[in-house]
Amino acid sequence: MKGRIANFSAGPAVLPEDVLREVQSNLFNYKGRGLSVMEMSHRSKDYQTIIDDAMLRARQLMELGDDYEVLFLQGGASLQFLMMPLNLCPDNKEPNYINTGTWATKALKEAKKIGKKMHLAASSEDREFRYIPREFKLSANPAYLHITTNNTIRGTQYHQFPEIGDIPLLCDISSDIFSHRIDFNKFSLIYAGAQKNIGPAGVVMVAIRQDMLDRIPDGLPTMLDYRTHVDKGSMFNTPPSFAIYVMGLVFKWLQDNGGLDWIEERNRAKAGLIYDMIDSTDFYSGTADVADRSLMNVTFRLPTEELEAKFIAEATGCGMNGLKGHRSVGGCRASIYNSLPVKACEQLATFMREFKKQNG
């Protein structure tokens, strides 16, 4: 039987081996109940325990108080692009966005599509999204400021967040959630598609401060109203029950191993292995400004596209998957999310060193 590969895929991404083994052991007969979680009624006591535990662990990891609601929804981060302006931007205010790449661009376009007077507070498009803007200018009457904390395609990441006083700060934190310690209470709303850093595809986690619910206008479509899901504990309709179950196990894995301080130390060590290799030679070149490099997505180029294709093919042959850059930009990308073992980054750094010797 072939062993597990080093999975550098940008998503759906690697999951902790301990979690996969626990899922495997309970897949056919969950804790002796005689059925799988995939077959379990979401209205049962057993499933209520599962979703309550996942919500509690998420709240603990974020260190949120009772003034926040945690939701598990469907539609991915892409549906949140629409739900945010629909729920939280009155017609007399402007949603503000900082554009740092593809997913930030998609978010602001959704506000435009529903007729909101979207304001671009800052953008790094002038240099192909290779950096995080330090300066921004809000509109005269902002409903909120939205940022994307980590940019998977370009390999940039916020290391300090905008200071905007009482104006709500909203963020897409899909690809670096729980990768390092931050103050989640700075945000009025966060959302994260699970499939990169905290679980399998099919569920998006939202944390929203309760006072934001007072801004929601009446008359929204039922499923697009945050209050619907708050009132029903994320079970207005059948939730993505199995994905939530696995996500809860990932939260437990994080807590059992030392929480966000532990994972941050590990992630910095992993990223350092690859960035040190890139910086030690002119053969590889990082695509993001050094000060704004991501801990989650290491993007780089080789001298020619032909060498990049050879690099990716040979790495795949050596058991390293998913190193091809996004189709919109090319190059190479190593996504090194929380669950990726340190040994995988050691393997990649060694391969990069040997590939350079043979092809440099």
Active site residues: 103, 172, 196
Using the CB atoms, write b or e for 299-326: b if 16+ within 10 Å.
bbbbeeeebbeebbeebeeeebebbbbb
Q: How far apart are the C-alpha atoms of 237 and 243, rounded to whole Å?
A: 15
Give the relative orientation of helices 342-359 and 305-317 as an angle to the nearest 10 degrees. Answer: 130
State residue 137 phi and psi, 5-degree precision: -130, 115
Answer left, alpha or beta for residue 82, where phi above 0 means left and psi between -120 and 50 means alpha.
Answer: alpha
End-to-end Cα distance, the chain: 35
**Residues in the chain, how many?**
360
At position 66, the amino acid (one-letter code) is D
**Residue 354 DSSP code:** H
